[in-house]
Amino acid sequence: MAVTLEVAEVGKDFLIPVIDSVSFGVEAGEFVCLLGPNGCGKTTLLRIVGGLEPPTRGRVLLGGEPVSGSGRHTKKVGVVFQEDRLLPWMTLRENVELVLEPLGLGAEARRQAADRHLRLAGLAGFEAYHPARVSGGMRQRAAIARALAIEPDLLLMDEPFGALDAQNRRIMQQEVRRIWRETGRTILFVTHAIDEAVAIGTTLIMLSARPARIREMVRNDGHLERGRLIDDLNTMIMEEVERQQGVVGPA
Amino acid sequence: MSARHWATRLHLPTLGVAAVIVAGWVLLSWRYGAYVLPSPLAVARGFAEIVASGEIWRHTVASLGRILVGFGGAVVVALLAGLAAFLSRTARGVIHDFLSVLNSTSVFVWIVISIIWFGLSNWAPIFTTFMITLPVVASNIVEGVANVDRRLLEMGDVYRLSGRQKFTAIVVPSTLPYLVVGMKVGFGLALKVSVVAEIFGVTSGIGYVMNYSREILATQMVFVWALVMILVMTATDRLVFDAVSRRLDRWR
């Protein structure tokens, strides 16, 4: 059952307008990267899509159901935050098992699903470890395993590798790409790193400086030369950063 | 391991200072006599006496029993206050305000009021202990509830955990260290306060027997029972609270 995401003229004000108006659609199985300068409202947009914050304007539909407002939608959304947000007093396995409880699975089914997804995230053998005993990269893997374990219709990732060093970051990018290929999940991935977005996304959405609009939407299916694409996106993001800092007036 | 390390482990510097103090104590007790300052030997002999006669247990158990009821009741009410603080922000504010009022009330106020209300009975020290330890334990728990990581609760919302699941999986484990600290401080306070309250109207307990020893001019027994109090306090700290804290820290 293919579930699509539809973001329709979404805007958000926090005293000042943060997101002007953003519309886009995501097909089931797509890997969309949301790009933009720091502070442009990427995370806010992701939180609105995840139903963690209501939009000021517009609406978000997941499989045709609105994600915010009264009455919870029936679709499942997994979120990987910038921080791992694991419960430090639980083992990695217990952390994953916990989010399976609301789905009504029995203890044995929860355990099997938790171990399967920890293995998928490359954590076989670490199920009984507490978060403090493993590295930052492994904690983020566990957070990914937790998000995947609920078999989400949409997986949201908010700069999940921002706190990792360059080597771990590259490894985790490849891992996410592999997991996406193996599971076919629909992913919306927020990042400010262009090389990261080009390396893993099938569709790239570049947001403008605040208040955010869509500056550019690019299909990244190999028809564009990679080095050229990175250069173009870099030029764009530089322009937006400069505009955000007031170096040049609004276009 | 270095010699210095062992010296510290065995508290040798502390023991050295203690030896100097005991020597000074001996000199002063010679100078002022046994009524004002009994000698260390007299205190040691008195301690051996109450251990041999079993009197030590009668009064310690009586005091601990009252503490158990008064302090135990305070912990139960504090837990309910913590639950209310978790469920409602308004309740948290109200509880916070009441706790600061209770916190600034003197022990003596409760002792006098409890004698008026409960007369010369077990309930006077129990009530005093309850009123004095309640704000200490409760403010720790309420602070713990207020400091629960919002980001973890939001994670719970993302994965649609029920209120009960969030409470048991997130709020309780985050608050436990605060509860343990509150209970540790509260218990120490309970022992000190209940002993004072026992001066009035009861015929057992460490406070009663200390005051009685003073009246019959057995000053060495006052020192003996003070020693018993110190031992009880140190033992519960080491055997109960330190052990619980270590167990809570397992996952760190």
For residue A100, what pLDDT band results from cuts at 50, 70 and 90?
Answer: very high
Nearest to A79 among B158, B165, B173 (CB): B158
For residue A149, what pLDDT band results from cuts at 50, 70 and 90?
Answer: very high
Report d(CA A85, CA A35) in Å as an integer.
Answer: 23
Ramachandran region, residue A33 (left: φ > 0; alpha: ψ -120 to 50; beta: rest): beta
Nearest to B162 among A52, A99, A102 (CB): A102
pLDDT at A37: 84
- Residue A220 resides in a domain: yes
Q: Does domain B39-251 match CATH 1.10.3720.10? A: yes
For chain B, the residues whose C-beta falls within 8 A of a C-beta of chain A are 151-152, 154-155, 157-162, 165, 169-170, 173, 251-252
- For residue A158, give the 3-state DSSP assignment: strand
pLDDT at B70: 95
- Residue A14 resides in a domain: yes
Please calculate the CA angle A30-A32-A38 and round it to the nearest 5 degrees.
170
For residue B73, the Cα-to-chain-centroid distance in whole angstroms is 14
Report d(CA B159, CA A79) in Å as an integer.
Answer: 9
Q: A218 has which bridge partners?
A: A204
- Residue A26 resides in a domain: yes
Question: What is the least distance, in Å, from the CA of A142 to any CA of chain B?
Answer: 14
Q: At what angle do helices B219-236 and B55-87 cross, to 10 degrees?
A: 40
| Sequence-ordered alpha helix ranges (H) in B147-218 | 150-158, 163-166, 172-197, 206-215
pLDDT at A85: 95
Element at A8 (helix H, strand E): strand A5-14
| pLDDT tens, residue by residue, A124-134 | 999 999 999 99
- Residue A250 resides in a domain: no
For residue A251, what pLDDT band results from cuts at 50, 70 and 90?
Answer: very low
pLDDT at B148: 93
Question: What is the least distance, in Å, from the CA of B155 to any CA of chain A?
Answer: 7
Please calculate the CA angle B29-B34-B36 and round it to the nearest 5 degrees.
80
pTM here is 0.83
pLDDT at B19: 92
Nearest to B159 among A83, A89, A102 (CB): A102
Q: How many domains does chain A have?
A: 1
B172: nearest CA partner in chain A:
A89
Q: CATH code at A61?
A: 3.40.50.300
| CB within 8 Å: B160 and A72 | yes
| pLDDT tens, residue by residue, A5-28 | 998 888 898 888 889 999 999 998
Question: What is the least distance, in Å, from the CA of B177 to any CA of chain A?
Answer: 12
For chain A, the residues whose C-beta falls within 8 A of a C-beta of chain B are 50, 52, 72, 77-79, 81, 83, 85, 87-90, 98-99, 101-102, 130-132, 146, 150
pLDDT at B51: 92
- Residue A251 resides in a domain: no
Contact at 8 Å (CB) between A186 and A26?
yes
Nearest to B155 among A85, A88, A132 (CB): A85
| CB within 8 Å: A102 and B161 | yes
B171: nearest CA partner in chain A:
A87
| CB within 8 Å: A83 and B151 | yes
Nearest to B165 among A50, A88, A101 (CB): A101
- Residue A127 resides in a domain: yes
Contact at 8 Å (CB) between A145 and A208?
no
Structural domain harbouring A15: 5-244
Residue reference for tokens 């908010």: A158
- In this predicted structure, the answer to whether residue A250 has a pLDDT above a threshold of 70 is no
pLDDT at B222: 93
pLDDT at B252: 76
For residue A243, what pLDDT band results from cuts at 50, 70 and 90?
Answer: confident
> Would you give per-residue pLDDT tens digits along chain B (252 residues)?
566 677 777 788 888 999 999 999 999 998 988 888 898 899 999 999 999 998 999 999 999 999 999 999 999 999 999 999 988 889 999 999 999 999 888 888 999 999 899 988 889 999 999 999 999 999 999 999 999 999 999 999 999 999 899 999 999 999 999 999 999 999 999 999 988 899 887 889 999 999 999 999 889 999 999 999 999 999 998 888 888 888 888 887
- Residue A85 resides in a domain: yes
- Can you read off the two tokens belonging to residue A68? 């915010």
Cβ burial of A38 (10 Å; 0-12, 13-18, 19+) is: exposed
Average pLDDT over residues A31-54: 89
Report d(CA A98, CA A96) in Å as an integer.
Answer: 5
Contact at 8 Å (CB) between A156 and A46?
yes
| CB within 8 Å: B251 and A101 | no
| Sequence-ordered alpha helix ranges (H) in A103-154 | 107-120, 136-149
- Residue A25 resides in a domain: yes
- In this predicted structure, the answer to whether residue A215 has a pLDDT above a threshold of 90 is no
- Can you read off the two tokens belonging to residue A127? 């199920």
| CB within 8 Å: B151 and A88 | no
More confident residue, B81 or A231: B81
More confident residue, A251 or A41: A41
ipTM of this model?
A: 0.88
- The mean predicted confidence, pLDDT, of chain A is 88
Ramachandran region, residue B208 (left: φ > 0; alpha: ψ -120 to 50; beta: rest): alpha
| Beta-carbon count within 10 A of A154 CB | 23
| Count of positions (residues) in chain A | 251
